[in-house]
Amino acid sequence: MTRLLAVTASSPGAGKSTLCDGLVAWLRAQGLRVDHFREEEVLTREAFAPLAQEFSAGGEVQLSTLLDTTEDYLGRLDAQGVDVAVTDALVPFIPSLRGWGHDESGIADFLRDLEARLMGSDPIVVYLDEEPPRALARAIEREGPAWQDWFLTKLGSYPVEPPVRDLEGAHAYFRYERTVTLRLLEDLPWQVIVVPQSDPPSAADVLHTARRQLEPLLVPPANPGP
């Protein structure tokens, strides 16, 4: 089955989309057929149409729909002969699940179900780790003050305690999410690669670190010949 390479991060601005771009280019240069699933495509990919319909209707998605559509997505790629699916902020869905009010126990149950569905894809999770204050500052610098207001309003609507009301609250929210994410991933049989963002940030250093750990897992050894 198509191998799943899921890239996620500790918070917006950590550099995951840039890392995905670099990993896709590298894997294709190795001769692998790669599908690049960008973060915004979750509402436009055909396999995720049921998810998009539910989200548009109420802003939330049934857990069964998450499971069904993710399995369908990888199944379609496998039928097309795709070697690796590089997904940006899709699996393991923890940020969305927290935003919809699921607690850690409920998320753990969901991940066990997801593991069973994706067993054939042998998932690898690359977790790009960055301190939330630095990452969010870069996201705000890139997107502007209006994005900051929108994002804080979005976080403030989540049913979490304490509620997020300002940047300090957002930093605490993402620090806790980091702890939850890494703890839950430890309980899965998936390969998890934690890549720290350098300070100052360096896309080249992050890509080099990720490639070094991924190469033995994804790139077939060269045929030495007779």
222: CB partners within 8 A, 6+ apart? none
Mean pLDDT confidence for 75-85:
98
Q: Looking at the 3D structure of the chain, how many domains does it have?
A: 1
Residue 181 has a pLDDT of 97
Tell me the CATH number at 36.
3.40.50.300
> What predicted TM-score, i.e. pTM, was given to this entire model?
0.95
CB-CB contact of 129 with 194 (8 Å): yes
Q: What is the pLDDT of residues 5-48, one digit of tens each?
A: 999 998 999 999 999 999 999 999 999 999 999 999 999 999 99
Q: Which domain holds residue 174?
A: 3-213
pLDDT at 48: 97
> Could you tell me if residue 222 is inside a domain?
no
Query: Quick check: is 218 in a domain?
Result: no
Q: Binning pLDDT at 50, 70 and 90, where does residue 163 land?
A: very high
pLDDT in tens, 147-162: 999 999 999 999 999 9
CB 88 within 8 A of CB 26: no
Determine, yes or no, domain membership for 225.
no
Rounded distance, CA 127 to CA 193, Å?
6
